[in-house]
Structure 1
Amino acid sequence: KDAKDWTLGEQKAVAEDIAAKGEALPAYAKAKAAMDAGIKFSMELTDGRTLRYRIIGINHDDLVDGSGKAGLTFLTTSNSFASRVNATDTNAGGWEKSELRKEMNSGEIWNLMPVDFQSKVKAVKKLTNNVGGGSANKNAAVTATSDRLFLLSYSEIVETPYSDWSDYS
C-alpha cells in the first residue's frame, strides 16, 4: 500500500516495524519517500476541524519507556489553530514548565486529538535547555521531558544553529 493511503493503524504498525527492524523493511523505503516528498496525512479532530501532518523523522526520537526509537515522528502542517500565549507571560522553567506543554500532552490541545490517535501515540524523550542562553550559558539546565506532542526545538528546525547572538544586542 502506498504511504499516502496509510491509516492511523498502518502508520503505527509501520513505525513499530521500523523501530524494531530498521532500514531493511520495504515500509522504511516507503516512509522515507513519503517524508522526502512531503506527503500529507489528515485526521478529523474532536471539534470537527481537520489536522494535516507529515513525517519529519525516522528513528529520530527516543521512546520514554527505554524500548528504543520512535519509528516515525510527525509534524502538523495545519495553520488553523489559534496561537497560544502563556498566561503567566514568562518563559521561566522553559518548555518543561510551560502551560503549552501541559495543554499539548494532557489538556485542551491533547483533548482535540481523536481517541484512535491518542491510543497510538507513544511518548518520546525531548531534551530542552530550560534556562536558555545556548552553549555560552554556564547555568544551562538541559532536562528530558516526556512528550506525546511537542514543539520542534531550535536545533530541530535549523541545521546549523547560529551560536553568537551577542552580535545583535
Structure 2
Amino acid sequence: IPLHLALHVARPEVQYAVHNHSEYGTVWSDLTAVPPAYDQSSSLGGGEVVLVDEYEGAVNSREAADAAVRAIGDADRAILGGHGVFVIGDTARAAFLRAVALEQRAKNAWMVRVAGGPEKSSLPDWWMDRQANSDGNGYHGFWEAAVRKALRDEPALAAEVLGRQR
C-alpha cells in the first residue's frame, strides 16, 4: 500500500497502478535487469520500462516507497530490483496490456537467454520507438477478450455484472 500511496501523491494523474510478483518479472527483478523485448507482442503497451534498484526496506516502509517512486519517475513500467514489477496506466486496458506484455517480455527474454540467443533483439529500432510512444490503449480487443473470458469462466461474476447493468 505505501508504494501505491506514494505513487498517487507524486503522480496524481495516475488512474491505474498494478504491483505484482509475476513469475518471470520477478526473475528479472532478482537479476536487477530490464528484459529486452525480442518479439512484437512483448513490446506492446507503450511507455518506458525502468529498473528500480533503489527499492530498499520493508514493503510497508514509506521511505522505501517514496524512493522507489522517485526512481520510477515518469516511466509506465518498472522492474523493482529484488521485489517484483510495477505497471501504470491511464486506463484499465493500458494497465492490463502493459502487465501482460511485460510478463511475456520477461518470459521470452529469459528463454532466449537460457537458449544462448542474442543479447540484442532483431526488432527494428523504428518498431521499438513506435511502441514506446504508444499510450497502451491502441491494441483493441485484448482487454475485452480477457474480460469476456473472465465472465465465461465465472458465471456468478457474469450474473452480478449483468444484474448491475439492468
TM-score, normalised to structure 1, is 0.21
Q: Which has the higher helix share?
A: 2
Greater relative CO, 1 or 2 (CA 8 Å, sep 6+): 2
TM-score, normalised to structure 2, is 0.22
